[in-house]
Amino acid sequence: MTVRQLLLLQGLLLFTSADVSFRFASYYGDHMVLQQRPARAVVWGFGEVGAIVTVTLLRGMDTISKMAVNVKGDVGVWKVVLDPMEYGGPYHLIAQQILKQEITSVHLDDVLFGDVWFCGGQSNMEMTVSQIFNASQELALAAQYPYVRLFTASLEYSDTELLDLAKVDLPWSVPTSKNLGQGDFTYFSAVCWIFGRHLARKLKYPIGLVESVWGGTPVEAWSSKTALSKCGLSDNPLRMILRNDAFIDISAAPCDYSVLWNAMIHPFLNMTIKGAIWYQGEANTQLNVDLYNCTFPALIQDWRRSFHEGSLGQTDSNFPFGFVQLSTYLKNKQDNFPVIRWHQTADYGYVPNPKMPNTFMAVAMDLGDETCPYGSIHPRDKQTVAYRLYLGAQAIAYGDRRVHYQGPFPDRIDVYYTYSYMNITYNQELLITHTCDNIFEVFCSADMNGEGQYTWIPAPAELQSSKVVTVSFKGCSHISAVRYAWSDWPCEYKQCPIYSANQRLPAPLFIKYFK
Ligand SMILES: *[C@@H]1O[C@H](CO)[C@@H](O)[C@H](O)[C@H]1NC(C)=O
Ligand SMILES: *[C@@H]1O[C@H](CO)[C@@H](O)[C@H](O)[C@H]1NC(C)=O
Ligand SMILES: *[C@@H]1O[C@H](CO)[C@@H](O)[C@H](O)[C@H]1NC(C)=O
Ligand SMILES: *[C@@H]1O[C@H](CO)[C@@H](O)[C@H](O)[C@H]1NC(C)=O
């Protein structure tokens, strides 16, 4: 007997109507993952105003829970908050509408409980599994992860906040090599997938991955008006144009304030999620660059508050948020990549930090890919990016403090003018893979009293002890700052000079001004 026949027998699927006005919202479907306990999953849909909707969760033929709500509001929306559920499945979810004797039903099959992760950003999150290194090996792994489930929203924008998605590209699906590698910059996101499969292997329970991304888009498009106003950006939709034609795949990318928040984020606020990962910032190397240290933390804060509210308090108001610090684009050219990398950390250099609690970051500046057929802005090593994110998720989202997830960062910097060098003491044991002749720079004045012209000059560095790097500044009579890896393309593939001895994680860039 099929599930459908069973349900019919039990009288649960009475009259399945073709009436599309009674339905689940767009992102509820067969094969989906709903958020497991301690949170409660929110389930909602559309119906006839005034009707009563009964939502039943079944495992096999056993009713696990049943609740009834009224259809409310102008458009007719029903919404239930399920009981907290342990991970597992499969379940059936049935919604039945009763309006003046007339009963209609809709039902979802193969529903699992587990953790739901939201994946956002621009083209580096949009790159599919077929576009990365070792693509065929990666695609072949699909069959090993039937409990990772995938969903991709369509690219849509809107001037007003939408209640539901306008369109879906990939409805909830079991991974296959076809839907993991649909085509260039379509679905499924390689970073999202590899992150999810690492989690599934480690946690041994279902992982739902929701992709909602658009190449070439600035952070302002993904931010609500509330978030933008925190950074002094007006809530008048301003038409913005990105000029650089190097961002080819994105010529039609919408850049206006809030348009993607409206169409691709706002509809999701009502589902319960575990956390989010994000790979974005390239577009902002040309747009409101100096504001990114405000706009990015503001987006995180605003998404957290909004997902919490939209899910009736079920999504954590401080949910874990992971992101990729920008990789590389142009060799031997100065651009704003280091500035955005720095601003991605709210100018701390590392996360989490007081302005960005409960966040984790994958450093990617050592993963450059100059000959990438999709443009050098799209490095193909997404495995390392996703793995570094996964380390952060273990520590931050799943509280495993034993996991080493951050590269080395300076604890203190002592400047010794007598010896013309400084000692930079890192917070952990270092692995020095290369000599550091150019990657440290000092802001140097040759003028005796330090009032003259300052210029950035390379400062040779050497490892002195397992945690101390000595940076010399001979020829400078005064220095007012030091920085590390402050360029678009600071090192060759996996060849930055400083890694953590523990996990071989790269030291992120930093800049330090002296008073
Ligand atoms: C952000 O960075 C700019 C310089 O790029 C600086 O002027 C500003 O004070 C910083 N804002 C915040 C909120 O840290
Ligand atoms: C979803 O949450 C948002 C934000 O709280 C709210 O504006 C919207 O009405 C909610 N939608 C539904 C269907 O409850
Ligand atoms: C690709 O596969 C080879 C062989 O298994 C491996 O050495 C290499 O690290 C893989 N590349 C990436 C980016 O994972
Ligand atoms: C700088 O650090 C090294 C290694 O710890 C140490 O040997 C040296 O004495 C330090 N320099 C000064 C001036 O303290």
Please write the tens of the pLDDT for every residue from 178-234: 999 999 999 999 999 999 999 999 999 999 999 999 999 999 999 999 999 999 998
CATH number of 3-112: 2.60.40.10
- Report how far ligand 2's centroid is from the alpha carbon of 163 (Å): 7
Query: Is the pLDDT reported for residue 163 higher than 60?
Result: yes
Please write the tens of the pLDDT for every residue from 315-352: 999 999 999 999 999 998 899 999 999 999 999 999 99
Mutational pocket test of ligand 4: of 425, 462, 468, 471, the residue with most ligand atoms within 8 Å of the beta carbon: 468
Q: Which ligand is nearest to the CA of 415?
A: 4
* Mean pLDDT within 90-115: 96
Q: Which ligand is nearest to the CA of 494?
A: 3
Residues 262/157, Cβ–Cβ less than 8 Å: yes
Please write the tens of the pLDDT for every residue from 354-390: 999 999 999 999 999 999 999 999 999 999 999 999 9
217: nearest Cα among 281, 291, 269: 281
Residue with CA nearest ligand 2 atom 6: 310
pLDDT of 446 reads 84
Superfamily holding 114-396: SGNH hydrolase (3.40.50.1110)
Alpha-carbon distance of 281 to 284, in angstroms, equals: 5
* Mean pLDDT within 491-512: 96
Which tokens hold the place of 76?
């007719």
pTM: 0.94
Query: Is the pLDDT reported for residue 240 higher than 90?
Result: no
Asked if the domains 3-112 and 114-396 are classified in one and the same CATH topology, the answer is no
Sort residue 249 into left (φ over 0), alpha (ψ -120 to 50) or beta.
Answer: alpha
pLDDT of 269 reads 98
Locate the domains of the chain by residue range.
Answer: 3-112, 114-396, 410-513
Mutational pocket test of ligand 1: of 219, 289, 290, 340, the residue with most ligand atoms within 8 Å of the beta carbon: 290
Question: Does the CB atom of residue 123 touch ligand 2 within 6 A?
Answer: no
pLDDT of 248 reads 41
- Report how far ligand 4's centroid is from the alpha carbon of 482 (Å): 18
Residue with CA nearest ligand 3 atom 1: 134
Question: Does the CB atom of residue 416 touch ligand 4 within 6 A?
Answer: yes
Please write the tens of the pLDDT for every residue from 302-318: 999 999 999 999 999 99
Please write the tens of the pLDDT for every residue from 39-75: 999 999 999 999 999 999 999 999 999 999 999 999 9
Ligand 1 pocket at CB < 6 A: 290, 293-294, 347
What contacts 17, CB < 8 A, 6 or more positions away?
104, 105
Work out whether the CA dihedral 368, 504, 276, 166 comes out positive or negative. positive
What contacts 394, CB < 8 A, 6 or more positions away?
202, 400, 403, 405
Residues 283/248, Cβ–Cβ less than 8 Å: no
Question: Does the CB atom of residue 309 touch ligand 2 within 6 A?
Answer: yes
Q: Which ligand is nearest to the CA of 467?
A: 4
What contacts 319, CB < 8 A, 6 or more positions away?
273, 274, 275, 276, 304, 307, 308, 358
Please write the tens of the pLDDT for every residue from 250-288: 446 888 999 999 999 999 999 999 999 999 999 999 999
Alpha-carbon distance of 515 to 510, in angstroms, equals: 16
- Report how far ligand 2's centroid is from the alpha carbon of 24 (Å): 14
